[in-house]
C-alpha cells in the first residue's frame, strides 16, 4: 500500500512539473512573438492603401503603429 501511495505522489509531482513547464513555455513563446519586428513595413502599407485594400484611416492607424514599434524597437 505504501508503494502505491509513493507512486501516485511521484506521478502527481511529474504531472505538476510538466504543467509548470508548459505554462512557462507558453509565456515565453507569447513574449517572443511580441519582440519581433513590425508586422508591416511602411512600403507594404502604402501598397495596400494604393491598391484600395486599406482605407486612408486604416492606413494612418497602422502607420502610427509601425512607427511606434520602430521607435520602441
- Report CA-CA distances (Å) from 9 to 2, 38, 46, 51, 57: 11, 47, 60, 62, 59
26-67 tens-digit pLDDT: 887 776 555 555 678 899 999 999 999 999 999 999 999 888
Domain boundaries, the chain: 1-35, 37-73
Neighbours of 40 (CB within 10 A): 16
Check: CB of residue 48 under 8 Å from CB of residue 22: no
Helix (H, G, I), strand (E, B), or coil: what is residue 53? coil
Mean per-residue pLDDT for 15-24?
90
Amino acid at each position: 500500500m505504501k508503494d502505491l501511495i509513493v507512486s501516485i505522489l511521484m506521478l502527481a509531482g511529474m504531472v505538476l512539473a510538466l504543467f509548470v513547464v508548459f505554462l512557462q513555455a507558453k509565456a515565453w513563446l507569447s513574449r517572443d512573438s511580441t519582440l519581433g519586428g513590425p508586422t508591416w513595413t511602411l512600403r507594404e502599407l502604402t501598397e495596400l492603401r494604393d491598391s484600395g485594400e486599406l482605407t486612408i484611416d486604416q492606413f494612418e492607424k497602422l502607420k502610427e503603429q509601425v512607427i511606434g514599434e520602430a521607435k520602441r524597437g
